[in-house]
């Protein structure tokens, strides 16, 4: 991760994520402030990394982003839901700790990296706030998320046509229709249910929208899975089963450097 790669990868995801101007402004403000933070060492004298947390004040974020305090709170919640940042609030007397997440596609086009996780604890950025999820924890999370269902309150949420959840749901449906033009159209209620499963994939399963799109493309191009992944519910349920094969094929397609380079 570095400033340029994060900026480029964020720009590439804008058409799919469809963030507001405020969310874009906050992301770039965090990116600029993290770049400044990289010039300082932590309390142990070690050089900071892009994965480390940092804690800009609300006033500083307002200055760099042009947003109000309330605008920052709303924008950061959306950026977190989209898998772009993580943060940990520490009350009124301490600044919130932020962490930029790795948006690069050079590790896995389908699975979140093993070092992703929520920021927790009360340490400041000088203590390099970086938590590593164990594979056991991640497996437990995935197994739980497959079985979990939306609560009645969550099911009442309506997804607008320009929301990332709805757009990804309809993206899968369009792919299904391309493979089978006779496939039955969705009702408005079904469209909302499809979008809600995408929401669960993002919020509970920790899939980024780009990873979900990649899996949709792969599953609908695979001779076996395109006959079985006929809903976002099935996409979510079978995601971990498809991921090893999808990743293997994706990695095989990546350009390899010459031995003398």
Domains and CATH numbers, the chain: 3-100 (1.10.10.10), 164-253 (no CATH)
Which pLDDT band holds residue 22 (cuts at 50, 70, 90)? Answer: very high
For CA atoms 166, 171, 175, 178, the dihedral sign is: positive
Residue 135 has pLDDT above 50, yes or no: no
Comparison of pLDDT for 147 and 198, the residue scoring more: 198
**pLDDT attached to residue 140:** 47
Listed residue (196, 192, 197, 238) closest to 215, CA to CA:
238
**pLDDT attached to residue 231:** 96
In sequence order, the 6+-apart residues with CB closer than 8 A to the CB of 180 are none
Q: What is the mean pLDDT of residues 80-107?
A: 83
Mean pLDDT score of the chain: 80
Over residues 160-217, the pLDDT tens digits come to 888 889 999 999 999 999 999 999 999 999 999 999 999 999 988 988 888 899 899 9
Residue 141 has pLDDT above 50, yes or no: no
Using an 8 Å Cβ cutoff, are 22 and 67 in contact?
yes
CB atoms within 10 A of CB 81: 15
Tokens 């159209």 sit at which residue? 185
């Amino acid at each position: 991760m570095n400033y340029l790669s994060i900026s480029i990868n964020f720009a590439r995801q804008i058409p799919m994520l469809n963030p507001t101007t405020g969310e874009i402004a906050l992301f770039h403000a965090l990116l600029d402030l993290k770049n400044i933070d990289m010039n300082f060492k932590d309390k142990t004298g070690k050089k900071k990394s892009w994965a480390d947390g940092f804690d800009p004040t609300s006033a500083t974020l307002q200055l760099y982003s042009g947003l109000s305090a309330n605008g920052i709170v709303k924008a950061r919640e959306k950026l977190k839901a989209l898998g772009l940042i993580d943060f940990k609030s520490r009350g009124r007397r301490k600044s919130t700790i932020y962490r930029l997440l790795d948006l690069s596609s050079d590790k896995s086009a389908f699975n979140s990296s093993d070092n992703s996780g929520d920021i927790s604890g009360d340490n400041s950025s000088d203590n390099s706030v970086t938590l590593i999820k164990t594979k056991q924890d991640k497996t437990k999370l995935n197994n739980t998320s497959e079985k979990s269902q939306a609560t009645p309150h969550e099911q009442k949420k309506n997804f607008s046509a320009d929301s990332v959840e709805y757009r990804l749901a309809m993206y899968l449906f369009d792919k299904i229709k391309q493979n089978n033009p006779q496939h039955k159209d969705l009702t408005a209620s079904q469209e909302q249910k499809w979008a809600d499963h995408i929401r669960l994939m993002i919020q509970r399963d920790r899939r980024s929208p780009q990873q979900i799109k990649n899996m949709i493309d792969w599953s609908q191009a695979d001779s076996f899975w395109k006959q079985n992944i006929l809903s976002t519910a099935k996409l979510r349920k079978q995601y971990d089963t498809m991921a090893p094969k999808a990743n293997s094929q994706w990695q095989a397609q990546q350009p390899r450097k010459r031995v003398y380079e």
